[in-house]
Amino acid sequence: MKTTRKQFNTLMFAVLGGGAALASSGAWAQPAAYPAKPITMVVPTAAGGTTDLSARMLAQALGPVIGQSVVADNKGGGNGNIAASVVKRAEPDGYTLLMQYSGYHVISPIVSKQTPPWEQKDFVPVANVISAPQIIVLRADLPIKTMAELVAYAKAHPGKLNYASSGNGSLQHVTGAMLEQQAGVKMMHVPYKGTGPALQDLLGGQVDLTFGTAPPFMPHIQSGKLRVLAVTSKERLPSLPEVPTTAEAGYPQVDATSWFAVFAPAATPKPVIDKLTADIGKVVNQPAFKQKVQEQGATAHYQNPQQLGDKVKSDLARWTTVVKASKIEAD
Protein backbone atom coordinates (compact mmCIF):
# COMPACT_ATOMS: atom_id res chain seq x y z
CA MET A 1 0.00 0.00 0.00
CA LYS A 2 1.38 3.40 -0.98
CA THR A 3 1.89 5.94 1.80
CA THR A 4 0.85 9.48 0.99
CA ARG A 5 2.99 12.50 1.93
CA LYS A 6 0.33 13.55 4.44
CA GLN A 7 0.37 10.10 6.11
CA PHE A 8 4.18 10.12 6.20
CA ASN A 9 4.30 13.54 7.89
CA THR A 10 1.70 12.45 10.44
CA LEU A 11 3.72 9.31 11.24
CA MET A 12 6.98 11.24 11.67
CA PHE A 13 5.30 13.80 13.92
CA ALA A 14 4.05 11.00 16.15
CA VAL A 15 7.48 9.38 16.36
CA LEU A 16 9.34 12.62 17.03
CA GLY A 17 6.71 13.83 19.44
CA GLY A 18 6.87 10.58 21.36
CA GLY A 19 10.66 10.81 21.50
CA ALA A 20 10.45 14.34 22.85
CA ALA A 21 8.01 13.19 25.48
CA LEU A 22 10.37 10.41 26.50
CA ALA A 23 13.29 12.82 26.68
CA SER A 24 11.34 15.36 28.72
CA SER A 25 10.22 12.63 31.12
CA GLY A 26 13.82 11.59 31.78
CA ALA A 27 13.42 8.18 30.17
CA TRP A 28 15.52 9.03 27.12
CA ALA A 29 18.93 7.62 28.15
CA GLN A 30 19.41 10.15 30.93
CA PRO A 31 22.09 9.17 33.52
CA ALA A 32 20.67 8.03 36.83
CA ALA A 33 20.82 10.50 39.70
CA TYR A 34 23.65 9.92 42.18
CA PRO A 35 23.68 7.66 44.10
CA ALA A 36 21.88 4.91 42.19
CA LYS A 37 23.61 1.97 43.90
CA PRO A 38 25.44 1.14 47.17
CA ILE A 39 28.61 3.04 48.06
CA THR A 40 31.80 1.32 49.25
CA MET A 41 33.97 3.06 51.82
CA VAL A 42 37.45 1.51 51.82
CA VAL A 43 39.17 1.46 55.22
CA PRO A 44 43.01 1.39 55.38
CA THR A 45 43.11 -0.62 58.63
CA ALA A 46 41.88 -3.92 59.98
CA ALA A 47 38.65 -4.02 61.95
CA GLY A 48 38.90 -2.20 65.28
CA GLY A 49 40.65 1.07 66.01
CA THR A 50 39.57 4.64 65.42
CA THR A 51 39.81 4.61 61.61
CA ASP A 52 37.57 1.57 61.30
CA LEU A 53 35.20 2.91 63.94
CA SER A 54 34.96 6.24 62.11
CA ALA A 55 34.12 4.53 58.83
CA ARG A 56 31.45 2.29 60.35
CA MET A 57 29.78 5.04 62.35
CA LEU A 58 29.66 7.25 59.27
CA ALA A 59 28.48 4.45 56.97
CA GLN A 60 25.63 3.52 59.30
CA ALA A 61 24.43 7.10 59.70
CA LEU A 62 25.04 8.22 56.10
CA GLY A 63 22.98 5.50 54.41
CA PRO A 64 19.53 6.86 55.38
CA VAL A 65 20.59 10.43 54.56
CA ILE A 66 22.09 9.78 51.13
CA GLY A 67 19.49 7.20 50.12
CA GLN A 68 21.76 4.18 49.52
CA SER A 69 23.55 1.69 51.71
CA VAL A 70 27.16 2.54 52.53
CA VAL A 71 29.45 -0.44 53.17
CA ALA A 72 32.80 -0.32 54.99
CA ASP A 73 35.44 -2.51 53.32
CA ASN A 74 38.64 -3.13 55.31
CA LYS A 75 41.84 -3.33 53.29
CA GLY A 76 44.55 -2.88 55.90
CA GLY A 77 48.29 -3.14 55.44
CA GLY A 78 51.20 -1.30 53.93
CA ASN A 79 50.77 1.80 56.13
CA GLY A 80 47.54 2.52 54.33
CA ASN A 81 49.01 2.05 50.85
CA ILE A 82 46.84 -0.97 49.95
CA ALA A 83 43.57 0.87 50.54
CA ALA A 84 44.82 4.07 48.92
CA SER A 85 45.88 2.14 45.80
CA VAL A 86 42.45 0.49 45.54
CA VAL A 87 40.65 3.83 45.65
CA LYS A 88 43.17 5.50 43.36
CA ARG A 89 42.40 2.91 40.65
CA ALA A 90 38.63 2.96 41.18
CA GLU A 91 36.21 4.53 38.74
CA PRO A 92 35.83 8.21 39.74
CA ASP A 93 32.06 8.02 40.04
CA GLY A 94 31.52 8.44 43.78
CA TYR A 95 30.83 4.77 44.48
CA THR A 96 34.30 3.96 45.90
CA LEU A 97 35.54 6.25 48.67
CA LEU A 98 38.46 6.23 51.11
CA MET A 99 38.07 6.78 54.86
CA GLN A 100 41.56 8.09 55.43
CA TYR A 101 43.63 8.44 58.61
CA SER A 102 45.83 11.54 58.82
CA GLY A 103 48.87 9.54 59.89
CA TYR A 104 48.70 7.60 56.63
CA HIS A 105 47.82 10.59 54.49
CA VAL A 106 50.38 13.15 55.62
CA ILE A 107 53.03 11.41 57.74
CA SER A 108 53.65 8.05 56.05
CA PRO A 109 54.64 9.68 52.73
CA ILE A 110 57.18 11.86 54.57
CA VAL A 111 58.88 9.15 56.66
CA SER A 112 58.73 6.32 54.13
CA LYS A 113 62.04 5.14 52.69
CA GLN A 114 60.27 4.12 49.50
CA THR A 115 58.08 6.21 47.19
CA PRO A 116 54.42 5.47 48.01
CA PRO A 117 52.27 4.03 45.19
CA TRP A 118 50.01 7.09 45.31
CA GLU A 119 50.26 10.88 45.42
CA GLN A 120 48.12 13.62 46.93
CA LYS A 121 46.90 14.54 43.44
CA ASP A 122 45.33 11.07 43.10
CA PHE A 123 42.55 12.08 45.51
CA VAL A 124 40.06 14.87 45.98
CA PRO A 125 38.95 15.90 49.49
CA VAL A 126 35.31 15.25 50.36
CA ALA A 127 34.83 15.93 54.08
CA ASN A 128 36.50 15.62 57.45
CA VAL A 129 34.40 13.53 59.83
CA ILE A 130 36.19 13.02 63.15
CA SER A 131 39.11 14.65 64.95
CA ALA A 132 40.89 12.90 67.81
CA PRO A 133 43.69 14.70 69.63
CA GLN A 134 46.36 12.68 71.31
CA ILE A 135 46.86 12.73 75.05
CA ILE A 136 50.18 12.69 76.87
CA VAL A 137 49.88 9.90 79.40
CA LEU A 138 52.42 8.45 81.85
CA ARG A 139 52.64 5.83 84.56
CA ALA A 140 51.15 7.09 87.80
CA ASP A 141 54.17 6.29 90.00
CA LEU A 142 56.35 8.94 88.35
CA PRO A 143 56.76 12.14 90.42
CA ILE A 144 55.21 14.20 87.60
CA LYS A 145 51.72 15.69 87.61
CA THR A 146 51.86 18.56 85.12
CA MET A 147 53.48 19.44 81.79
CA ALA A 148 55.73 21.92 83.59
CA GLU A 149 56.96 19.16 85.90
CA LEU A 150 57.49 16.82 82.94
CA VAL A 151 59.68 19.36 81.14
CA ALA A 152 61.58 20.22 84.32
CA TYR A 153 62.23 16.53 85.05
CA ALA A 154 63.36 15.86 81.47
CA LYS A 155 65.76 18.81 81.59
CA ALA A 156 67.18 17.70 84.94
CA HIS A 157 67.60 14.13 83.70
CA PRO A 158 68.50 14.29 79.98
CA GLY A 159 67.70 11.03 78.17
CA LYS A 160 66.37 9.32 81.30
CA LEU A 161 62.68 9.55 80.43
CA ASN A 162 61.57 7.24 77.65
CA TYR A 163 58.38 7.27 75.61
CA ALA A 164 56.66 4.46 73.75
CA SER A 165 55.15 4.66 70.29
CA SER A 166 53.40 2.30 67.90
CA GLY A 167 56.47 2.25 65.65
CA ASN A 168 59.18 4.31 63.97
CA GLY A 169 57.61 7.08 61.95
CA SER A 170 54.22 6.72 63.66
CA LEU A 171 52.20 9.73 64.75
CA GLN A 172 53.14 8.99 68.37
CA HIS A 173 56.81 8.99 67.41
CA VAL A 174 56.70 12.33 65.62
CA THR A 175 54.55 13.83 68.40
CA GLY A 176 57.27 12.91 70.88
CA ALA A 177 59.85 14.48 68.60
CA MET A 178 57.72 17.62 68.33
CA LEU A 179 57.51 17.88 72.12
CA GLU A 180 61.28 17.46 72.41
CA GLN A 181 61.84 20.24 69.88
CA GLN A 182 59.35 22.66 71.41
CA ALA A 183 60.33 22.04 75.05
CA GLY A 184 64.07 21.74 74.45
CA VAL A 185 64.34 18.32 76.09
CA LYS A 186 65.72 14.93 75.14
CA MET A 187 63.88 11.66 75.76
CA MET A 188 64.48 8.10 74.60
CA HIS A 189 62.11 6.73 71.99
CA VAL A 190 61.00 3.10 72.36
CA PRO A 191 59.10 1.83 69.28
CA TYR A 192 56.55 -0.97 69.50
CA LYS A 193 54.52 -2.83 66.90
CA GLY A 194 51.22 -1.17 67.70
CA THR A 195 49.57 0.76 70.51
CA GLY A 196 48.51 -2.39 72.39
CA PRO A 197 52.02 -3.63 73.25
CA ALA A 198 53.13 -0.08 74.08
CA LEU A 199 50.22 0.31 76.49
CA GLN A 200 50.97 -2.99 78.18
CA ASP A 201 54.58 -2.03 78.84
CA LEU A 202 53.49 1.39 80.07
CA LEU A 203 51.17 -0.30 82.57
CA GLY A 204 53.97 -2.70 83.49
CA GLY A 205 56.43 0.13 84.16
CA GLN A 206 58.85 -0.74 81.36
CA VAL A 207 58.33 2.69 79.75
CA ASP A 208 57.53 6.08 81.28
CA LEU A 209 55.03 7.74 78.98
CA THR A 210 53.36 7.63 75.60
CA PHE A 211 51.02 9.51 73.30
CA GLY A 212 47.80 8.33 71.71
CA THR A 213 44.11 8.91 71.19
CA ALA A 214 42.10 8.64 74.40
CA PRO A 215 39.88 5.50 74.05
CA PRO A 216 42.45 2.76 74.84
CA PHE A 217 43.77 4.66 77.85
CA MET A 218 40.53 5.79 79.47
CA PRO A 219 39.91 2.71 81.69
CA HIS A 220 43.45 2.92 83.08
CA ILE A 221 43.21 6.67 83.65
CA GLN A 222 39.95 6.17 85.52
CA SER A 223 41.45 3.39 87.63
CA GLY A 224 44.43 5.57 88.57
CA LYS A 225 47.04 3.34 86.91
CA LEU A 226 47.90 6.04 84.39
CA ARG A 227 48.01 9.82 84.63
CA VAL A 228 47.17 12.13 81.73
CA LEU A 229 49.05 15.43 81.58
CA ALA A 230 47.68 17.21 78.53
CA VAL A 231 45.62 17.01 75.37
CA THR A 232 47.55 17.83 72.19
CA SER A 233 44.98 20.15 70.65
CA LYS A 234 43.63 23.68 70.83
CA GLU A 235 40.54 22.61 72.78
CA ARG A 236 39.96 20.34 75.76
CA LEU A 237 38.38 16.94 75.33
CA PRO A 238 34.79 16.70 76.62
CA SER A 239 35.62 13.22 77.95
CA LEU A 240 38.57 14.68 79.93
CA PRO A 241 37.33 18.18 80.80
CA GLU A 242 39.80 18.70 83.66
CA VAL A 243 42.87 18.00 81.53
CA PRO A 244 44.54 21.12 80.05
CA THR A 245 45.61 21.42 76.44
CA THR A 246 49.25 21.68 75.44
CA ALA A 247 48.50 25.28 74.45
CA GLU A 248 47.24 26.04 77.95
CA ALA A 249 50.36 24.37 79.34
CA GLY A 250 52.57 26.74 77.34
CA TYR A 251 53.30 24.64 74.23
CA PRO A 252 50.79 25.72 71.54
CA GLN A 253 52.94 24.26 68.75
CA VAL A 254 52.55 20.76 70.19
CA ASP A 255 49.34 20.14 68.28
CA ALA A 256 48.95 16.54 67.17
CA THR A 257 45.32 15.97 66.41
CA SER A 258 44.54 12.93 64.29
CA TRP A 259 41.77 13.33 61.74
CA PHE A 260 39.65 10.84 59.87
CA ALA A 261 38.31 12.10 56.57
CA VAL A 262 36.67 10.96 53.35
CA PHE A 263 38.48 11.25 50.01
CA ALA A 264 37.39 10.29 46.49
CA PRO A 265 39.42 9.38 43.40
CA ALA A 266 40.67 12.34 41.40
CA ALA A 267 38.35 13.39 38.55
CA THR A 268 35.21 12.54 40.52
CA PRO A 269 32.56 14.97 39.18
CA LYS A 270 31.97 18.07 41.29
CA PRO A 271 28.19 17.49 41.61
CA VAL A 272 28.95 14.11 43.17
CA ILE A 273 31.46 15.64 45.60
CA ASP A 274 28.94 18.37 46.45
CA LYS A 275 26.25 15.77 47.18
CA LEU A 276 28.59 13.67 49.31
CA THR A 277 30.01 16.50 51.39
CA ALA A 278 26.57 18.04 51.99
CA ASP A 279 25.11 14.75 53.24
CA ILE A 280 28.18 13.93 55.34
CA GLY A 281 27.90 17.38 56.87
CA LYS A 282 24.29 16.64 57.85
CA VAL A 283 25.39 13.42 59.54
CA VAL A 284 28.38 14.86 61.39
CA ASN A 285 26.25 17.69 62.79
CA GLN A 286 23.55 15.38 64.12
CA PRO A 287 23.45 15.52 67.97
CA ALA A 288 23.24 11.72 68.18
CA PHE A 289 26.34 11.31 66.00
CA LYS A 290 28.25 13.92 67.99
CA GLN A 291 27.37 12.18 71.24
CA LYS A 292 28.43 8.76 69.93
CA VAL A 293 31.79 10.13 68.79
CA GLN A 294 32.32 11.96 72.08
CA GLU A 295 31.79 8.73 73.99
CA GLN A 296 34.78 7.35 72.08
CA GLY A 297 37.03 10.18 73.29
CA ALA A 298 36.96 12.04 69.98
CA THR A 299 35.09 14.95 68.36
CA ALA A 300 32.72 15.03 65.39
CA HIS A 301 34.29 17.74 63.25
CA TYR A 302 32.97 18.49 59.77
CA GLN A 303 35.18 20.26 57.24
CA ASN A 304 34.21 20.89 53.63
CA PRO A 305 36.51 19.99 50.71
CA GLN A 306 38.29 23.35 50.72
CA GLN A 307 38.90 23.26 54.48
CA LEU A 308 40.08 19.65 54.38
CA GLY A 309 42.41 20.38 51.47
CA ASP A 310 43.91 23.32 53.36
CA LYS A 311 44.36 21.10 56.43
CA VAL A 312 46.26 18.51 54.38
CA LYS A 313 48.62 21.18 53.02
CA SER A 314 49.31 22.73 56.44
CA ASP A 315 49.86 19.33 58.08
CA LEU A 316 52.26 18.26 55.34
CA ALA A 317 54.33 21.40 55.86
CA ARG A 318 54.33 21.17 59.66
CA TRP A 319 55.13 17.46 59.93
CA THR A 320 57.81 17.67 57.24
CA THR A 321 59.64 20.23 59.39
CA VAL A 322 59.40 18.00 62.48
CA VAL A 323 60.45 14.83 60.66
CA LYS A 324 63.44 16.42 58.93
CA ALA A 325 64.64 18.10 62.11
CA SER A 326 64.54 14.80 64.00
CA LYS A 327 65.73 12.68 61.02
CA ILE A 328 62.85 10.24 61.47
CA GLU A 329 62.43 7.29 59.13
CA ALA A 330 59.91 4.49 59.12
CA ASP A 331 61.01 0.87 59.54
User: What are the backbone angles phi and psi of residue 81, rounded to the nearest 5°?
Assistant: -70, -30
Given this model, what pLDDT does residue 11 score? 45
pLDDT for 166: 81
Instruction: Convert the pLDDT of each residue in 61-93 to its tens digit.
Output: 999 999 999 999 999 888 889 999 999 999 999
Looking from the CA of 269 toward its CB, the CA atoms found within 13 Å total: 9
Torsion-angle region of residue 214: left (phi > 0), alpha (psi -120 to 50) or beta? Answer: alpha
Beta bridge partners of 303: 128
Three-state SS string over the chain comes to CCCCHHHHHHHHHHHHHHHHHHHHCCCCCCCCCCCCCCEEEEECCCCCCHHHHHHHHHHHHHHHHHCCCEEEEECCCHHHHHHHHHHHHCCCCCCEEEEEEHHHHHHHHHHCCCCCCCCHHHEEEEEEEEEEEEEEEEECCCCCCCHHHHHHHHHHCCCCCEEEECCCCCHHHHHHHHHHHHHCCCCEEEECCCHHHHHHHHHHCCCCEEEEECCCCHHHHHCCCEEEEEECCCCCCCCCCCCCECCCCCCCCCCCEEEEEEEEECCCCHHHHHHHHHHHHHHHCCHHHHHHHHHCCCEEEEECHHHHHHHHHHHHHHHHHHHHHHCCCCC
pLDDT digits (tens, 9 = 90+) for 249-274: 999 989 888 899 999 999 999 999 99
CA distances for 66 relative to 32, 33, 89, 131, 299, angstroms: 14, 12, 24, 22, 22
Average pLDDT score over the chain: 88
pLDDT at residue 285 in the model = 97
| pLDDT surpasses 90 at 3 | no
279 compared with 258, residue with greater pLDDT: 279
How far is 300 from 284, CA to CA, in rounded Å?
6
**pLDDT tens digits, 190-233:** 998 778 888 999 999 999 999 988 878 888 999 999 999 999 98
Is the entire prediction scored with pTM above 0.85? no
- What pLDDT, in 10s, does the model give residues 292-321? 998 877 889 999 999 999 999 999 998 898
More confident residue, 120 or 322: 120
